[in-house]
Structure 1
């Protein structure tokens, strides 16, 4: 089967227009319907958006490949659209998408269509091929370009030649895999093979796609190889690599950073991998700490929209209210304030269940979601056996953020445990697992465990809040300096996220001063870079200066990542300067007793800050100190 067998003229639209990702997907689903590939267009579209929620299929270089594998598809198919003006697709490189291919794959059945789809993914790595498709003036010409490129690469029969079978030993081995195993898996394979060929290194790439493992690495090849590159966003079989040098990376790195991965592989500096009894790429394959961090960040990333949306609405409620009417009911005295406070409170109330639910989902996939949600809700409500058995006469003990965090990990591993126990059920009962066994058993066990441990975790939570509340003077200033400095250590990385999560968690317990220090620290790095480029022009190239000025806006909007390119280019001078400036901003915010009820927004939520003028002064002083230090530490650039 060739690509043309899956792509018909009716499913091709040239010179289309779309305003964003949703509009693009809506248009592509209609094209897929025209090709008569769908059994239920609505459910197929939902499956496509579910896949997008795992990570954008905008792979960069102007290409997006939205796809889904579901029983809503009655026959495998492709749809294609060109967008000369481009459309925002949340692509990995941040650029608009101009060439869209949508993939529809049915559940089960013959997987031969996946091989065809993998060929298309490989062809799209060629710049010339993409340009010819964009220039096509008719669907017939579009199909002709694909057919010619497929014939040149894979032969007239479409079988192609195995580029690796003639070799007896490979210096580098690789494994590629993405969550759905349809497009990114094979694009990473193609990128690694092409780059290795350019650099003169023999390589073999195993793909873990929806059709199973292809081009499997043999024990002899693994034994002889210098290094194995794992470019995967899902679990792969890792035990076979015990004792070998292994590089762990995302599948996107395999597509966009093949040269970097290959150079690291041949350098002899890659870490030696040791198998510890789990094949999970998320834990054993990447190291326990990185696996746990990935699970945590999955929960945090899904939690933040609720925290930010709800928190800013609550902050608006206080801004619009009149304290004099009823100080005890501040935030609910006027109709507008009551509306924003109520809606924001509802959104904010989802924070802990969402956090634990998506941590559990990261560990155990969808079966863990409901169990994690319930665990987070029970932790937030503070149910204990005393509270339940005494019909509410005993006060609940909320374990708060710590309890929800713990509930998320417990829920994920409870479901993983249940999956192993019920793994040997007959296939006829397979459908009962996600719909009956996992939710009933998982939620029951989760509820029992959380009700049991809530008093203990709640006591720790209350103790921490009491310590924070009792801080004063020097202690608070030191805390502000530490949190502000952490926001600049890696600007969006683990330290930054840890400080930010601490700040948002403090909001739930009215730790408004902590959130203020965190945001002040996060606003400093981009502003410091912009100030340095403005007043120390000879420290930057002309191109760097042009980009640096945008950091004024990014810093004022509390987008720390704007400083990352400059930190990456000169880390030994830029990062310490930013840390110093952020630490001073955080310390001054605490010293001025500033408080922030909104977890984001930068300068746009300044009206909601207590002591706003002092807060702006703290940010300004920190930014100036950071910018001046950067200017003194950086060396003038060579104009040549």
Structure 2
């Protein structure tokens, strides 16, 4: 690590009082040494990473970090704050701040060294020494792990920087120890991405061969794959060592990962997942007692996780089946999350699968009206009457295909809400409940309730401890049979009719809106569309609008709501694009490039095009976006514009009622957002030594998603 941190990169009297200021102060040292080429661009990448998850850790540690194309070589800067800086840790401010900068294509050896530092931070002797060190050179030497000439210091005596991922803590804990259960698997854990062999051997008390220790395999991962991944691994290994439990960890970090030996997994008694990105090849661990939490839980409460998974093993609880990685609901409903967070994830999983049906069906229906006129919904079925040479027949065909797609909306919504809760076993009762909801007139609300009930019933059944001989037929026979019967009974006999009445009342209320009430609804929907720029609140407003037009013959009020929602959702990216064109000096070069892309994204009704601007400057961008969205939503409702298509942006203008007034509403909202953004950025006072451009434009230049990889 000798080339990664020097005394010039250490500030033992860090005076910053915010995490942004701390990152800037340490990053300026990197710039001075030529290790960062673009200060603003690099800080934008740091801010984008920070926006995903706070980088504060219990114990007074902050580790802002990212991979960035503005970094020339892997670099580490260290700052010590007397007053502490809030990095979002549960136990309060951090006084030890490490800024880790990795190039976009950092090699495995350098990332291995960074992972070693991350593991060191779990050692209290190391952090205590950093708090007591008196000069920058000594601090840099301590972090590098320079070997002192005196007696061994296990807290800081890291092996010289090499491509050896073994941490000081692991190396100090019985370096010559052999793994009793996995003696033949040292080649599996010898790379940067795997747990160190010494750490894997946490039960070296010469236990008799007949008394095998409890064995746990774990996977850790975080969005960047540099720091939290290896901290969680070290923390779990240390906790396992203290508990007399054999823990073998597979850190899935930026340098890639080495898969645990299948024999090690097969011999394990339990599994711990501590991750913030989907576990790769998760199906390898199926069928074992499992605890699934975020990576910070692995760092902050490893002993609790080990206790929890041992209790699950004692009760015989196992995962029902392998869960395919990479699905939108891979991490829905973690034990450490509150019920509200779980509920939001479950509902959003259903919405995310429903939206493609909405878009395809709605656009096909709109195309049918464009080809065949507004009476096309009364056309004969094309299976009985279709003329290849008649435009009306093609219009009827498009309409009827779209109506068929729309018929899946509620079942898909309900099915994938249940999927988000209980994985694939939830699909059958979810779809059944959704279809019943449509048949009894409970509609969209019925689908929501049916999906939640289906997922809950499946989860309850999965908790039943059944004999091993029956486990093979549970997911394909028993669970679908029982859960579908329960959900069907509840929807038909108990709750279906009351929900249908509520759905009918909501539809009547929407149809009765007029005048000031309609305008206020449009403003509210506009605010919701722009509050989180494509997030859950945005999706609630969008789902409300699309549910209104999801029938073959939607009301005029429902189509007005759809028009207001789509118009408002186009405003944030268009407004920010306009702002970058009007006052270029207030934005970085990268932001001006993003402004060009935002024109197309906004015009296509992709609200997420504004996220790069909001990532690091939310207090200016989001209020401005909400103001423009509210104005646009209110004007659209006031003008009486209607929309039958649920998506498409300006490309479906010809399908919009009163299209010129509709475009005027978008133009006014765009101007409001652009003007307010420029005003707020211009009012920002520049800090001493900071240019006007730096002060006005600290936004996350590209807010790149790749830095979270």
The TM-score normalised by the length of structure 1 is 0.60
Q: Secondary structure at the match of 2:430?
A: helix
Instruction: Determine the structure 1 residue equivalent to 2:642.
Output: 595
Structure 1: distance between partners of 2:418 and 2:599: 38
1:355 aligns with 2:413: yes
Q: 1:297 is matched with which residue?
A: 348
Q: 1:572 aligns with which of 619, 622, 628?
A: 619
Moved more, 539-548 or 574-583: 539-548
Q: Rg: which structure is higher?
A: 2
Q: Take 2:366 and 2:599, find their aligned partners in 1: how far apart are those partners?
A: 24
Alignment CA distance shift 1:200-1:345 (3 Å)? closer
Structure 1 residues 564, 474: CA separation in 2 closer, same or farther (over 3 Å shift)?
Answer: same
Task: Find the counterpart in structure 1 of residue 487 from structure 2.
Answer: 446
How far did residue 431 of structure 1 move? 2.3
- 1:203-218 equivalent positions in 2, closer than 5 A: 207=249, 211=265
**Structure-to-structure mapping, 1:192-231, within 5 angstroms:** 192=227, 196=231, 207=249, 211=265, 231=276
| SS across alignment from 2:615 | helix
Cα distance in 2, alignment partners of residues 512 and 564 from structure 1: 28
1: CA distance, partners of 2:484 / 2:396: 35
Measured in 1, the distance between the counterparts of 2:487 and 2:542 equals 28
Q: What SS does structure 2 have at the residue aligned with 1:492?
A: coil
**DSSP 3-state at the match of 1:286:** coil
* Aligned residue runs from structure 1 range 340-489, under 5 A: 340-382=398-440, 398-421=441-464, 423-425=465-467, 427-452=468-493, 453-489=495-531
Alignment of 1:496 with 2:531, yes or no, is no
1:305 deviates by 0.8
What's the counterpart of residue 667 of structure 2? Answer: 620
In 2, Cα distance between equivalents of 1:126 and 1:167: 34
Output the CA distance in 2 between the equivalents of 1:198 and 1:207: 6
Aligned pair count?
A: 437
Corresponding position of 1:85: none
Q: 2:590 maps to what in 1?
A: 543
2:107 to 106, 128, 131: 128
Question: In the aligned structure 2, how far is the partner of 1:627 from the partner of 1:330?
Answer: 49
Q: 1:339, 1:502 → 2: CA distance?
A: 27
1-side partners of 2:401 and 2:507: how far apart? 26
| Separation in structure 1 between the aligned mates of residue 395 and residue 232 of structure 2, nearest angstrom | 64
What is the alpha-carbon distance in structure 2 between the residues aligned to residue 295 and residue 334 of structure 1?
41
Partners in 2 of 1:369 and 1:197 — Cα distance? Answer: 34
Q: How far off is 1:152 after superposition? A: 6.4
Q: Is the 8 A contact 1:357 1:371 kept in 2?
A: yes
Q: Deviations over 1:86-133 (max 9, x none)?
A: xxxxxxx9x9xxxxxxxxxxxxxxxxxxxxxxxxxxxxx9943599xx
Cα distance in 2 for residues equivalent to 1:200 and 1:429: 38
Is contact 1:357–1:369 with CA below 8 Å preserved after alignment? yes
Contact in 2 for aligned 1:207/1:214 (Cα 8 Å): no
Q: Are 1:525 and 2:569 an aligned pair?
A: no
Match of 1:288 in 2: 339
- Provide closer, same or farther for how the CA distance between residues 190 and 574 of structure 1 changes in structure 2, counting only shifts above 3 A: closer
2:646 is paired with a residue of what secondary structure?
coil
Structure 2: how far apart are the matches of 1:326 and 1:360? 36
Contact 2:218 2:271 in 1 (8 A): no
Structure 1 residues 159, 282: CA separation in 2 closer, same or farther (over 3 Å shift)? closer
Rate the CA distance shift 1:287–1:317 in 2: closer, same or farther, 3 A: same
Deviations 1:294-343 (A, max 9, x none): 111111111111111011000100111134x7896599981011110111
Could you say which residue in structure 1 is the equivalent of 2:197? 162
Partner in structure 2 of residue 505 of structure 1: 547
Compute the displacement of 1:542 (Å): 2.2
- Between 1:436-445 and 1:475-484, the stretch displaced more is 436-445
- Please say if residues 318 and 331 of structure 1, whose CA atoms lie closer than 8 Å, have aligned partners that are also in contact: no
By how many angstroms is 1:284 displaced?
3.7
- The corresponding residue for 2:117 is none
In 1, the alpha carbon distance for the partners of 2:403 and 2:614 equals 38
The whole-number CA distance in structure 2 between the counterparts of 1:198 and 1:363 is 28
- Asked if structure 1 preserves the Cα contact closer than 8 Å seen for 2:219 and 2:275, the reply is no
Q: 1:633/1:163 Cα in 2 relative to 1: closer, same or farther (>3 Å)?
A: farther
Give yes or no for contact 1:491–1:561 (8 Å, CA) kept in 2. yes
**Cα distance change, pair 248–365 in 1 and its aligned pair in 2 (3 A):** closer
Equivalent-residue separation in structure 2 for 1:202 and 1:432 (angstroms): 37
Give SS of 1:605's match.
helix
Alpha-carbon distance, 1:433 to partner: 1.4
Paired residue secondary structure (2:641): coil
Partner Cα distance (1:365, 1:200) in 2 = 30
- In structure 1, the residue matched to 2:325 is none
Instruction: Please give the alpha-carbon distance, in whole angstroms, between the structure 2 residues aligned to 1:282 and 1:559.
Output: 28
1:56 matched residue in structure 2 = none
More contact order relative to length (CA 8 Å, sep ≥ 6):
2
TM-score normalised per structure 2: 0.54
Contact map agreement 2:363 2:646 (CA 8 A) in 1: yes
Tell me, which stretches of 5 or more residues in structure 1 are unaligned?
1-92, 96-124, 132-149, 169-180, 219-227, 242-246, 255-260, 269-274, 383-397
Instruction: Give the Å deviation of 1:290.
Output: 0.9
- In structure 1, C-alpha distance between the alignment counterparts of 2:221 and 2:675, rounded to whole Å: 48
Instruction: Give the superposed CA RMSD.
Output: 4.5
Please give the alpha-carbon distance, in whole angstroms, between the structure 2 residues aligned to 1:506 and 1:354: 16
Distance in 1 between residues matched to 2:377 and 2:403, nearest whole Å:
19
Q: Residue 98 of structure 1 corresponds to which residue in structure 2? A: none
Partner of 2:337: helix, strand, or coil?
coil
**Structure 1 pair 544–368 and aligned structure 2 pair: CA distance change class (3 A):** same
Q: Is 1:630 equivalent to 2:670 in the alignment?
A: no
Which moves more between the two structures, 589-598 or 535-544? Answer: 535-544
Q: Which residue of 1 aligns with 2:606?
A: 559
Unaligned runs of 5+ in 2: 1-66, 70-103, 111-161, 167-184, 191-195, 204-215, 240-246, 251-259, 302-307, 318-330, 383-390, 685-690, 695-709
Given that residues 283 and 290 in structure 1 are in contact (C-alpha distance below 8 angstroms), is that contact kept between their aligned partners in structure 2? no
Determine helix, strand or coil for the equivalent of 1:558.
Answer: coil
Distance in 2, matches of 1:164 and 1:533, equals 52
Cα shift at 1:573: 1.0
